[in-house]
């Protein structure tokens, strides 16, 4: 009897110890799976006895948000570490879902990172995420085609349309289209539309008065431009269903003159296994409207720890490893991701592989964040619906749709006016 009890006790404690050594990481589907697999193997090799169990969710930020928040709403103790889009920390902090990381991630360490993602990770004075990489919208173009027809990269959106039309007319290639971007109804649509609206002097909402601003003339003009000139004249209507991977595939197949994407697209567009346009690609800042300033949306991803994790200290070991200078360098070199750590923009190996990071640093630093608020996601849903119906239907009444969208945004923003201020 005593022996049975002893065996049971030993087995029980073994399984307990074993369970303690698993860290569950919820991540998205990467376009560079090898880089992440290797990083995780390297962590496990350095930490014998710790095992990372990965759950791989959808690529889309919007769908991935649903997956992670579902687990958090259920207080699921199975998820220890998760990726957070740069727009989520305020929401996760206010809801009590993300663990404050101040005891692990002191101010002196935070200074080594770019300030925009650190600000995005901060809510009411506490820090909730560690930035892994940042994103900023960039213009990709077919260097060979622009040179052949005597163009330099466009400075304004109307110039981009004119160049695309001229190239299409001269190249006479039925497969070629003028532009590919992300116009499906999801978070990427906000990133794209924000670049048009802000580069026309408009805004999504005004921060001081907390009022929706989509019905103002600068915003309406920009949305109309996207519907009538970008989608109506130089893209095929398939872009209305595109997220990043599909829009990049079109460009990499040599079927678009211009393309809007994040910095990692460079790596894929120049990979002979995945691209037909290797060596023919140029990169520039996004155009603006005449009289406006070029605007890049700030994106990027952070690692957070669940408040419901039973092993926050072990989870931190993993977060700290994945955001270390060595890992960010690996992710920059092999996945083309723009590092969140400042020093890597002076690292000789990174600059050798991506010399343009040096000049793009300014664009990264000045990329414009989406508003930082715990009600970002409901606001984004209202905007996504508006943008999608405004650009998808040729005869949409943009003004009246915009007025309705601003009104719905005001209703959500009322929550903040009533005291849920960031
Ligand atoms: C990228 C960005 C993220 C953005 C998303 C939209 O993943 O890093 O911030 O929300 O694209 O598709």
Do residue 315 and residue 172 come from a single domain? no
Q: Is residue 112 part of a domain?
A: yes
Decide: 247 in ligand 1 pocket, CB within 6 A: no
DSSP annotation of 202: -
Do residue 258 and residue 403 come from a single domain? yes
Decide: 61 in ligand 1 pocket, CB within 6 A: yes
Q: Residue 115's CB: how many other CB atoms inside 10 A?
A: 11
Distance CA 68, CA 82 (A): 8
Query: Contact, 220 vs 398, CB < 8 A?
Result: yes
Strand order in the sheet with 81-85: 51-57, 22-28, 81-85, 298-305, 130-136, 338-339
131 C-alpha to ligand 1 centroid (Å): 13
Do residue 209 and residue 349 come from a single domain? no
Half-sphere exposure of 307 (CA within 13 A, CB side): 16
Do residue 67 and residue 97 come from a single domain? yes
pLDDT of amino acid 15? 47
Query: Contact, 199 vs 293, CB < 8 A?
Result: yes
pLDDT of amino acid 16? 47
Q: Is residue 2 part of a domain?
A: no
Rounded to two decimals, what is the model's pTM?
A: 0.93
394 C-alpha to ligand 1 centroid (Å): 27
Buried/exposed code over 313-335 (b: 16+ C-beta within 10 A; e: otherwise): ebbbbbbbbbbeeebbbbbbbbb
Do residue 95 and residue 111 come from a single domain? yes
pLDDT of amino acid 418? 75
Bridge partners of 138, per DSSP, are 261
Distance CA 370, CA 191 (A): 8
Do residue 245 and residue 319 come from a single domain? no
Decide: 256 in ligand 1 pocket, CB within 6 A: no
6 Cβ contact list (under 8 Å, min separation 6):
none
299 C-alpha to ligand 1 centroid (Å): 5
Average pLDDT, the chain: 94
pLDDT of amino acid 17? 46
Domain of 412: which CATH number?
3.40.190.10
Q: Residue 218 belongs to what H/E stretch?
A: helix 217-225
Q: Which two tokens stand for residue 110?
A: 């935070």
Choose among 140, 147, 153: nearest CA to 171: 147
Query: Contact, 307 vs 77, CB < 8 A?
Result: no
Choose among 93, 85, 55: nearest CA to 307: 93
Choose among 341, 35, 350, 408: nearest CA to 204: 408
Q: Which atom of ligand 1 is nearest to the CA of 133?
A: 8
Do residue 380 and residue 358 come from a single domain? no
Q: Which atom of ligand 1 is nearest to the CA of 135?
A: 8
Q: Which of 135, 136, 248, 336 to mutate to test the pocket of ligand 1 (most atoms within 8 A of CB)?
A: 135
Do residue 172 and residue 125 come from a single domain? no
DSSP-based three-state secondary structure for 326 = helix
Q: Is residue 1 part of a domain?
A: no
Q: Which atom of ligand 1 is nearest to the CA of 262?
A: 1
pLDDT of amino acid 40? 97
372 C-alpha to ligand 1 centroid (Å): 15
Do residue 318 and residue 396 come from a single domain? no
Q: Is residue 5 part of a domain?
A: no
pLDDT of amino acid 422? 53
The pair phi, psi for residue 156, each rounded to 5°, is -125, 160
Decide: 188 in ligand 1 pocket, CB within 6 A: yes
Q: Is residue 202 part of a domain?
A: yes
Q: Which atom of ligand 1 is nearest to the CA of 244?
A: 12
Print pLDDT tens along the chain (422 aa). Answer: 455 544 444 444 444 444 458 999 999 989 899 999 999 999 999 999 999 999 999 999 999 999 999 999 999 999 999 999 999 999 999 999 999 999 999 999 999 999 999 999 999 999 999 999 999 999 999 999 999 999 999 999 999 999 999 999 999 999 999 999 999 999 999 999 999 999 999 999 998 888 999 999 999 999 999 999 999 999 999 999 999 999 999 999 999 999 999 999 999 999 999 999 999 999 999 999 999 999 999 999 999 999 999 999 999 999 999 999 999 999 999 999 999 999 999 999 999 999 999 989 999 999 999 999 999 999 999 999 999 999 999 999 999 999 999 999 999 999 887 765 55
pLDDT of amino acid 3? 52
pLDDT of amino acid 417? 79
Tokens 């009246």 found at: 400
4 C-alpha to ligand 1 centroid (Å): 55
Distance CA 145, CA 76 (A): 52
DSSP-based three-state secondary structure for 108 = helix
The pair phi, psi for residue 349, each rounded to 5°, is -70, -40
Write down which residue in 342, 366, 390 finishes a domain.
366
Do residue 338 and residue 235 come from a single domain? no
Q: Is residue 178 part of a domain?
A: yes
Q: Which of 59, 190, 191 to mutate to test the pocket of ligand 1 (most atoms within 8 A of CB)?
A: 191
62 C-alpha to ligand 1 centroid (Å): 9
Q: Which of 262, 297, 380 to mutate to test the pocket of ligand 1 (most atoms within 8 A of CB)?
A: 262
Distance from the first to the final alpha carbon of the chain: 61
Distance CA 255, CA 14 (A): 57
Decide: 80 in ligand 1 pocket, CB within 6 A: no
Write down which residue in 350, 366, 382 finishes a domain.
366
Decide: 191 in ligand 1 pocket, CB within 6 A: yes
Choose among 57, 10, 48, 84: nearest CA to 323: 84
325-335 and 33-46 helices cross at what angle (nearest 10)?
160
Do residue 239 and residue 342 come from a single domain? no
Q: Residue 14's CB: how many other CB atoms inside 10 A?
A: 10
Q: Which of 133, 298, 299, 367 to mutate to test the pocket of ligand 1 (most atoms within 8 A of CB)?
A: 299
pLDDT of amino acid 320? 98
Do residue 251 and residue 393 come from a single domain? yes
**Structural domain span for residue 60:** 21-134+298-366
Strand 122-123 vs strand 205-206: parallel, antiparallel, or unpaired? Answer: unpaired
C-alpha distance from residue 318 to each of 52, 128, 323, 388 (Å): 9, 15, 9, 39
Domain count within the chain: 2
Span 90-102, pLDDT tens digits:
999 999 999 999 9
Span 7-39, pLDDT tens digits:
444 444 444 444 458 999 999 989 899 999 999
Q: Is residue 151 part of a domain?
A: yes
Distance CA 189, CA 370 (A): 12
Beta strand segments in 46-201, E? 51-57, 81-85, 122-123, 126-127, 130-136, 138-142, 177-180
Q: Is residue 256 part of a domain?
A: yes
Choose among 369, 322, 361: nearest CA to 343: 361
Residue minimizing CA distance to atom 12 of ligand 1: 188
Choose among 134, 110, 104, 109: nearest CA to 122: 110
Tokens 């750590």 found at: 341
């Amino acid at each position: 009897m005593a022996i049975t009890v002893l065996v049971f006790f030993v087995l029980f404690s073994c399984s307990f110890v074993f369970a303690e050594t698993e860290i569950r990481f919820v991540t998205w589907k990467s376009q560079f799976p090898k880089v992440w697999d290797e990083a995780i193997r390297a962590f496990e090799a350095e930490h014998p006895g710790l095992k990372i169990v990965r759950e791989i969710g959808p690529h889309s930020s919007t769908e991935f948000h649903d997956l992670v928040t579902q687990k958090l709403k259920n207080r699921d103790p199975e998820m220890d570490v998760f990726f957070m889009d740069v727009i989520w920390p305020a929401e996760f902090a206010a809801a009590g879902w993300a663990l404050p990381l101040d005891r692990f991630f002191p101010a002196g360490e935070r200074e080594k990172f770019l300030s925009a993602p650190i600000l995005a990770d901060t809510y009411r004075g506490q820090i909730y995420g560690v930035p892994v990489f940042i994103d900023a919208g960039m213009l990709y173009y077919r260097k060979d085609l622009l040179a052949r027809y005597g163009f330099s990269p466009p400075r304004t959106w109307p110039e981009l349309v004119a160049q695309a039309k001229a190239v299409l007319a001269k190249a006479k290639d039925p497969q070629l289209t003028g532009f590919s971007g992300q116009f499906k109804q999801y978070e990427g649509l906000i990133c794209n539309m924000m670049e048009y609206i802000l580069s026309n002097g408009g805004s999504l909402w005004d921060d001081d008065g907390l009022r929706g601003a989509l019905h103002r003339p600068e915003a309406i003009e920009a949305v109309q431009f996207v519907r009538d000139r970008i989608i109506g004249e130089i893209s095929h209507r398939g872009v209305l269903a595109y997220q990043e991977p599909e829009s990049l595939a079109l460009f990499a197949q040599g079927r678009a003159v211009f393309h809007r994407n994040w910095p990692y697209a460079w790596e894929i567009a120049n990979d002979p296994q995945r691209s037909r346009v290797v060596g023919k690609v140029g990169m520039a800042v996004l155009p603006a409207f005449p009289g406006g300033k070029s605007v890049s949306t700030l994106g990027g991803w952070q690692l957070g720890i669940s408040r419901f994790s039973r092993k926050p200290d072990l989870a931190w070991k993993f977060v700290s490893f994945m955001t270390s200078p060595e890992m960010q360098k690996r992710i920059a070199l092999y996945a083309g991701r723009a590092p969140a750590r400042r020093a890597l923009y002076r690292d000789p190996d990174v600059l050798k592989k991506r010399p343009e990071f040096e000049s793009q640093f300014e664009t990264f630093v000045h990329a414009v964040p989406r508003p930082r608020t715990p009600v970002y996601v409901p606001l984004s849903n209202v905007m996504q619906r508006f943008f999608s119906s405004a650009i998808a239907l040729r005869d949409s009444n943009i003004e009246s749709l915009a007025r309705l969208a601003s009104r719905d945004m005001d209703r959500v923003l009322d929550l903040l006016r009533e005291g849920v201020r960031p």
